[in-house]
Structure 1
Amino acid sequence: MKAARFHGKRDVRVENLPEPDRDTLGPHEVLIRNRFCGICGTDLHEYAAGPIFIPTQPHPYTGAKLPQVLGHEYGGTVIAVGPEVSDVAPGDKVSVQPLVSPRDDYFGRRGLYQLSDKLGIVGLMWPWGGMAEYSVVNDYNVFRMPDSVSDEQAALIEPTAVAVYAADRGGVKPGSSVLVTGAGPIGQLQVLAARAAGASRIFLSDTNDNRLAMARQLLPDVITLNPKSDDVVEAIRDQTEGHVGVDVALECVGAEAALATCIEAVRRQGVVVQVGLHVGKPAVDGFTVTFKDIDVRGSWCYSTLMWPRVASMIGAGILPAEKVVTRRIRLDDVVRDGFEALLSPAGTELKILIDLQ
């Protein structure tokens, strides 16, 4: 089978690997024929500067290490299941929830699997990934999709779950005013998730005018701001009741300046949610955090139990995640038309899906 494997910085190779053997599946394993796989910002960071998350020594829980089959935003069709699998069957269309962790450690016993110290991720710290024709995962990693969810949408549930969880963490509710910093794929999905949660006024800040224009196509009434030309904080205060700022600010860049903007733009007793991953350790204005009596919260991944909820939101059209897709490519072209295209400073691409069939 063909698979895109990460070997090192700017070294992703499309290689021929042995297909998984359906006759040797473990009791709780599921063999999937992959259909669509998205390229995530995490994949881009690994390609441009890795290995970061991908282990060079065997992962303490999964045993995976370089070279790594990439891809954790994907879905497909079940081909075969282990003898103790009961939730899915061959022929089922599924979406993959990629977090792998113990079921019986401190967090696992509480259903907080994403917080485990031994967390692994399919496509980053697991022998298989979505950027291949086939993959093998645990039964708890697959969720059968309703007929209302297309194959493409099944591959978008993972990044959409990130945005829905962040909106939950921020307490976004009907009538909320919201700022999202960063108009990349997660930022754009965050705008859609905020609207799905009931936000009535949504601001989006980014330095890339192309991506701001894309956001206005996704949600015509989103208020877009470019910090290169706009005073973002003052513009937000001018358009919120009492000149106080937004109820919730969601930082989807992982940049110190964006976090500072969120802290300034949120109203007193508002909530700032850190969604993007910072490369370094940003300075935080602790005085303003205290003086404004605000909450600053992290938002790591998502609850692994969210898949049915997010699938229903997408399938019902409440959160049209498919609108963020700007291109579909072949696996053979993943480096040129995928990674390199997404790294272009022009920012003309947003979410690229790999069509594996």
Structure 2
Amino acid sequence: MSLDRDNLSFILEGIKQVKFEDRPVPEIIDRHDVLVNVKYTGVCGSDVHYWEHGSIGQFVVREPMVLGHESSGIISQVGASVKTLKVGDRVALEPGIPCRRCEPCKSGKYNLCIDMAFAATPPYDGTLAKYYRLPEDFCYKLPETMSLQEGALMEPLGVAVHIVKQGGVTPGSSVVVFGSGPVGLLCCAVAKAFGASKIIAVDIQQTRLDFAKKYTATSTFMPDKVSSEENAIRMKEENDLGPGADVVIDASGAEPSVHTGIHVLKTGGTYVQGGMGRSEITFPIMAACTKELNVKGSFRYGSGDYKLGIELVSTGRIDVKALITGEVKFEDAENAIKDVKMGKGIKTLIAGI
């Protein structure tokens, strides 16, 4: 396959049907837009899900769609009113453009925008292309101390920063994180950066727990095939949690994790749902009510999350390079998706053109 194209793009046509297509280079439409030559893109679980199923909930791939949304790149063109970036700057891409006009946007919660145009979420194309257009304020200049590979991980790190903020983690907090995939591991790292004294990583795969312990978790826990209450009791005993954890983060979306998380929390603790599983599950509502828990959702990222993520990485407080376990050429993008589907590695990057 020749890579000498104007804007070669990796496109999902249908379930497990992909192709490479040369598309028109995006034009600068708004005076505040920039054009980015995409250099690295991480493979996300949502990319795999769209490839395998053709949909995620209400979002259905009805027309060919460019995949990818965890990207970094180099500015190749700027609009007439762009002031913060110039051609040649290396940037991390925040891949969702809010309308800026709806009530959530105007109240400061643009991640909840009613008309969000998010990359690789139907009907919007993603970032696995040679060029991608964004408003300048959704491109974050990378410090000289950071690589473009690290820049591609600012998207999942932004998710983790938002989740941990939602949990209200403070110095001395005890935090339990269910799921030791990329986002769960990054939640552990952010919790540590925020000063948590106990960070317990939970998973059903020993290799992931081993990595979590080596990475940032202070301890790990593998659930037994018993009730969620029994697992919660053992977790509290093994980790000296007393009446329970201060904060629980679920980055798995698995129903048993939700149950155990509610039961392992102390009275008045905070539960944050970051992982997406089935659209409806059973829920231990009595425990949540009688313990007067703070139960919160967390969706993508908002104001300041990318900025803080870059600061945490550039100052050495979080190491995202340790999560990069594979890198493939652009023409091998589908193989990267298949590898992630098979559970190989932690974070695989697809190099740009």
Residue of structure 2 aligned with 1:29, choices 33, 43, 52: 33
**Structure 2 contact 39–72 (Cα < 8 Å) conserved:** yes
Percent identity over the alignment? 28
TM-score w.r.t. the length of structure 1 is 0.90
Q: Render the CA deviation track for 1:199-228: whole Å, top value 9, x for unaligned.
A: 111111111122112212313x53122214
Between the aligned partners of 1:143 and 1:53, the Cα distance in structure 2 is 30
What is the 5 A alignment of 1:116-265?
116-125=113-122, 128-219=125-216, 222-228=218-224, 232-241=231-240, 243-265=242-264
Distance in 1 of aligned mates of 2:350 and 2:241: 47
CA shift in 2, pair 1:126/1:327, >3 Å: same
SS at 1:7 equivalent = strand
Aligned partners of 1:240 and 1:209: how far apart in 2? 18
1:229: how far off?
Answer: 6.6
Spell out, residue by residue over 1:326-356, the C-alpha distance to the aligned partner (whole angstroms, 9 max, x if none).
Answer: 11111211112x1111111xx3411111111
Q: Is the 8 A contact 1:71 1:124 kept in 2?
A: no
Q: Alignment partner of 2:281: what SS?
A: coil
Equivalents in 2 of 1:316, 1:28: separation in Å?
29
Following superposition, the deviation at residue 242 of structure 1 comes to 6.2
Alignment-derived partner of residue 92 in structure 2: 95
2:348 paired residue number: 352
| Conservation of the 8 A alpha-carbon contact between 1:73 and 1:157 | yes
Contact 2:274 2:299 in 1 (8 A): yes
Q: Displacement, 1:185?
A: 1.0
Taking the aligned partners of 2:124 and 2:222, their CA distance within structure 1 comes to 41
2:332: which partner in 1? 333
Whole-Å separation in 2 of the counterparts to 1:109 and 1:319: 32
> Which residue does 1:52 correspond to in 2?
56
Q: Which residue of 2 aligns with 1:12?
A: 18
Map of 1:40 onto structure 2:
44
Structure 1 residue ranges without an equivalent (≥5)? 58-64
User: For structure 2, which runs of at least 5 residues remain unmatched after alignment?
Assistant: 1-6
What letter matches 2:31 in structure 1?
P
* Inter-partner Cα distance in structure 2 for 1:204 and 1:195: 12
- Mapped to 2, the partners of 1:55 and 1:276 lie a distance apart of 17
What secondary structure is seen at the aligned counterpart in 2 of 1:107?
helix
2: distance between equivalents of 1:101 and 1:189?
A: 25
Task: Choose from 9, 16, 23 the match for 1:3.
Answer: 9
Tell me the equivalent position of 2:4.
none
CA distance in 1, matches of 2:58, 2:327: 25
State the partner residue of 1:62: none
Could you tell me which amino acid in structure 2 is paired with residue 339 of structure 1?
A: I
Cα 1:241–1:205 change in 2 (3 A) is closer
| Aligned-residue RMSD, C-alpha | 2.1
* CA–CA distance in structure 1, aligned partners of residues 34 and 186 of structure 2: 29
CA contact (8 A) 2:12 2:64 kept: yes
Q: Please give the TM-score of this superposition, normalised by the length of structure 2.
A: 0.91
Which residue does the alignment assign to 2:3? none
Cα distance in 1 between the residues matched to 2:96 and 2:57? 13
What SS class does the counterpart of residue 339 from structure 1 fall into? helix
Partner of 1:78: 75
Q: Distance in 1 between matches of 2:192 and 2:344?
A: 24
The one-letter code of the counterpart of 1:34 is: V
Q: Determine helix, strand or coil for the equivalent of 2:261.
A: helix
- Work out whether residues 128 and 136 of structure 1, in 8 Å CA contact, stay in contact via their aligned partners in 2: no
For 1:179 and 1:232, the matched residues in 2 are separated by 13
Contact kept? 1:37, 1:354, Cα under 8 Å? yes
